[in-house]
Amino acid sequence: MPTLICPVRHCGEPLERRGRSRVCPRGHSFDVARGGYVNLLQPQDRRSKKPGDPPEAVEARRRLLDAGYGEPLLRAIREEIAALGLGGSAAVLDVGCGEGYYVGSLARDPGVEAHGVDLSTAAADLAARRYRQGTWIVANADRFLPWADGAFDLILSIDARLSPSEMRRVLRPGGRLLVAVPGADDLGELREAVLGERLLKDRLERAVSLLAEAGFEMEARRSVRGTAELRPAEIRDALTATYRSGRESRRARIEALPAMRVTLSHDLALLCQIASARPARA
């Protein structure tokens, strides 16, 4: 079981479960929310009064995933994990887990111990209420992952910001990092209709380059691509979930969009650690 540690500055002591709280030996205490998640976000780690994805984006993403649009990527992730042969009980952390679909689904598989962290309390609440098998934490992963060094066998980063040094710190020696980013043509038809652009840059190349600076090396790369017919309501959800519908000037155009066949694509990279030195937590 990966050890949660206290996020209070200059503490880092283990957090133990005591009733409805997580408490460290120095007396710092964090309540387990009614939904089942624990909020370890510290005041200095907040960028706004309501950090992370807003509820409308989280809920739009869940509706799309409930409709099955995440299944091809989930299947590819399961295949990668199976190929790794992690053994009887693999501790898996999803950094930027959102509403929990991917690692929460993995928690239902034999031999997977699921943990998710996100900046959004709305996302963590949805994840914890549905996927009771997992451990769900609110924290700012850009600054600190509240687990002990070497706690995880596998870390996932799916459509999320990267925190290379912290990911490396909490990954055990020999562990793996699996990164998934939207492909260059993901939702290209919608981007063209709303923004007048169709293709994005190769996001995976940039991610791998960033991770290389922290001592990761890519072992394998693959793509997951397909098309789907999105109804008008699903189009709005797709744009809301990816922040492409925020401007007032776009809304009339979005509301007028008919059902549309769009491309759904992700690029995945499996990475291992290459440097012997492990960065210490600040």
pLDDT tens digit sequence for 101-126:
999 999 998 889 999 999 999 999 99
> What is the average pLDDT score of the chain?
91
> Which stretch of DSSP H or E encloses residue 203?
helix 203-212
- Strands 112-118, 90-95: pairing is parallel
User: Is residue 125 one of the residues assigned to a domain?
Assistant: yes
pLDDT value at residue 125 = 97
Number of domains in the chain: 1
Collapsed DSSP state (helix, strand, coil) of residue 61:
helix
User: Is residue 171 one of the residues assigned to a domain?
Assistant: yes
- Strands 112-118, 216-230: pairing is unpaired
Cα angle vertex 239, ends 64, 56, to 5°? 70
pLDDT value at residue 275 = 65
User: Is residue 231 one of the residues assigned to a domain?
Assistant: no
What is the span of the domain harbouring residue 174?
16-54+68-181+201-223+267-273
Q: Find the CATH number of the domain harbouring 37.
A: 3.40.50.150
Q: What is the pTM of this model?
A: 0.92
How confident is residue 282, by pLDDT bands cut at 50, 70 and 90?
Answer: very low
User: Is residue 247 one of the residues assigned to a domain?
Assistant: no
User: Is residue 78 one of the residues assigned to a domain?
Assistant: yes
- Tokens found for residue 143: 């600054």
User: Is residue 251 one of the residues assigned to a domain?
Assistant: no
How confident is residue 248, by pLDDT bands cut at 50, 70 and 90?
Answer: low
pLDDT value at residue 195 = 80
Contact 97, 118 (CB under 8 A): yes
Contact 234, 64 (CB under 8 A): yes
Distances (CA, A) of 270 to 44, 59, 80, 110, 178: 33, 29, 8, 21, 5
CA pair distance 267, 81, nearest whole angstrom: 16
- Is the dihedral angle over the CA atoms 12, 18, 133, 39 positive or is it negative? negative
User: Is residue 158 one of the residues assigned to a domain?
Assistant: yes
Q: Where are the beta strands (DSSP E) in the chain?
A: 16-18, 21-23, 29-31, 38-39, 90-95, 112-118, 135-138, 152-158, 171-182, 216-230, 260-273
pLDDT tens digit sequence for 60-75:
999 999 999 999 999 9
pLDDT tens digit sequence for 203-241:
999 999 999 999 999 999 999 999 999 999 999 999 888
User: Is residue 217 one of the residues assigned to a domain?
Assistant: yes
